Amino acid sequence: MRPTLRHWRALLCGALLACLACLSNAQELRIGLSSNPSSVDPHFVNNDAISAVVSHAYETLVALDADARLTPALATSWRAVDDTTWEFKLRDGVKFHDGSPLTAQDVVFSLERPATIVNSPSSFAAYTRSITGKKVVDRLTLQLTTATPAPLLPNDLTRIFIVSRKSAEKASSDDFNQAKVQAGTGPFRLVKFTPGTGVQFARFDGYWGPKPAWSGVTLRALPAESARMSALLSGDVDLVENVQANLVSQFRQNKSLSVFTKVSSRVMFLYTDHRDTSPFVTDKDGKPLDRNPLKDARVRQAISKLIDRGVLAERVLDQLGVPTGNLAANGMFGFNPELKPDAVDVQGARQLLAEAGYPAGFGLTLFGPNDRYVNDKQVAQAIGQMLTRGGIVTKVQVSPMATYVGRASKKELGFGLLGWGVGGGEPSGALRGLLATPDKERGMGATNWSSYSNPQFDALLNEALNTVDDAKREALLRNATALALKKDYAIIPLYHQVSTWAARKGLTMVPRVDEFTQAQQVHAEAEDRK
């Protein structure tokens, strides 16, 4: 049974007092995660939740700051030597946890290792595919060549963790998971990984950057919302991510807690089937149709006009959503300020349906997850009601994310709710994965579950992916986004999810647009460290 607000109020008034230990003496930070990491091998599975965990021990050449802007990490600088050559200057004086110094040879090894991982559920090799040559200029200088211009290579390298060749060359993923390998350069070194339980780190005193505030960090796997909130209130953890939506305002009012929020790069959207026929699309009486109404851009636009994004954000999400007409969040590279979310217009939607040949509407089924995003089940149900009131009789079916993705990726569904973290500092990855005409060899359209295909869009995207000049590339990305989202309504953006964290009073943190929870970004407030 889902805990009630009364239950939580009782905990806040009573058990919370037990967790207010003096932070000035704190040596260990305990964090409650909403995920359950399956590995701590930094190259085994391309998964944001796992990457956030391993980022405590491993670093990349180029990093993204809290607002998804490129920033130096293990590379102090990088430059395009020409259209197909990038040069990276490495930071001097960096030590791996095994004591060996960082060199260009370690970087070469790290770029090659992801392709050697056997049975990876989601390979990091997608981020190194464009690299055709690696030249070690000297100990701290590396040049990477590509067959064609690769302006996003620095962005792609924010995903590849650098490991010690000395320690990792003969190590298996199991060796990483069992903490037999100390191959990172990060502010913490791995002590213990227990699947289903969590991860323990210890401060790395040889770290090249600012000394971490904590001698040790424990990341506890607490996927269940109620368990995570209870752990914070009982003092079992000091900080939690993904606060239960209906508790955010209550936690903010409590003087013993601090709440941190950030509009994330994760955009929630609806994908619609562009094929001639689509499963689960019927007339209003549930009878099959001889053609797919979702294939008509006017129908897709009508669906967009029937959705009250303000209601979703304010009521269904408890203000943990920001309506959008973009893929990239406001302030990110490639954000198109001209793309506003559609206003609710029931009459206009009905007119569009009539023009498309469906004056009486039709029926369909909306699919979605019930355990992945903020109030995802409730969002799907609310959208179903909005569409039904507008003449599109909508059934709603939700299921665990693993089940849902398994069916959706095989294109068994046709109309669904999905989220996408627009990572890498710009929307190229989202455009390439969600909207490009599927081309497995080129890594295009891997998550194009709508079967959308527009040669004009593909041409704009391809030009952007081969344009090194940032200003020109951003203009191309904005144009491609406008074509797909506003002219074609290929997918229907809804809102950007707002990420939340809660901590014991006296702790402060830097919230990140990529939703990463990092102990190195958590500190005791100044007055508590005196």
For 211-317, where are the alpha helices, taking DSSP H only? 225-234, 248-253, 297-306, 309-311
Of residues 246 and 181, which shows the higher confidence score?
Answer: 181
Residues 6+ apart with CB under 8 A from 347: none
Q: What residues contact residue 418 under an 8 Å CB cut-off, 6+ apart? A: 268, 269, 270, 271, 368, 408, 449
Q: Where are the domains of the chain?
A: 41-186, 263-497
Cα angle for residues 201, 185, 138 (degrees, 5° grid):
170
- Say if residue 200's pLDDT is above 80: yes
CATH no. for 263-497: 3.10.105.10
More confident residue, 45 or 343: 343
* pLDDT(526) > 80: no
Helix, strand, coil percent values for the chain (each to nearest 5): 35, 25, 40
Domain covering 41-186 assigned CATH 3.90.76.10 in the classification: yes
Across the range 284-295, mean pLDDT stands at 92
Residue range 440-447: mean pLDDT, rounded: 81
Using only C-alpha atoms, the chain has a radius of gyration, in whole angstroms, of 24
For 297-356, write each residue's pLDDT tens digit: 999 999 999 999 999 999 999 999 999 999 999 888 999 999 999 999 999 999 999 999
373 in Cβ contact with 500 (< 8 Å): no
Q: For 128, what's the count of Cα atoms within 13 Å in the CB-facing half-sphere? A: 21
Give pLDDT, residue 268.
96
pTM of the model: 0.81
Quick one: pLDDT band at residue 227, thresholds 50, 70, 90? very high
Residue 95 has pLDDT above 70, yes or no: yes
203 contacts 214 by C-beta, under 8 angstroms: yes
Query: What count of Cα atoms within 13 Å lies in the side-chain half-sphere of residue 324?
Result: 30
> Are the CB atoms for 281 and 362 separated by under 8 Å?
yes
Mean pLDDT of the chain: 91
- Nearest in space to 12 (alpha carbons), one of 256, 308, 373, 281: 256
pLDDT value at 25 more than 80: no
Amino acid symbol at 56:
H
The yes-or-no verdict on residue 85 having pLDDT over 50 is yes
DSSP string for residues in 49-67: HHHHHHTTT-EESEEE-TT
User: How far is the C-alpha of 34 from the C-alpha of 20, rounded, in Å?
Assistant: 22
Closest by alpha carbon to 40, among 197, 169, 170, 148? 197
Q: In sequence order, what are the beta bridge partners of 369? A: 399
Rounded-to-integer distance, Cα 128 and Cα 508, Å:
36
What per-residue string of b and e applies to 206-215 under the rule 16 or more CB within 10 Å gives b?
ebbeeebbbe
CA distance 219 to 301: 44
Query: What per-residue string of b and e applies to 354-378 under the rule 16 or more CB within 10 Å gives b?
Result: eebebeebbbbbbbbbbbbbbbbbb
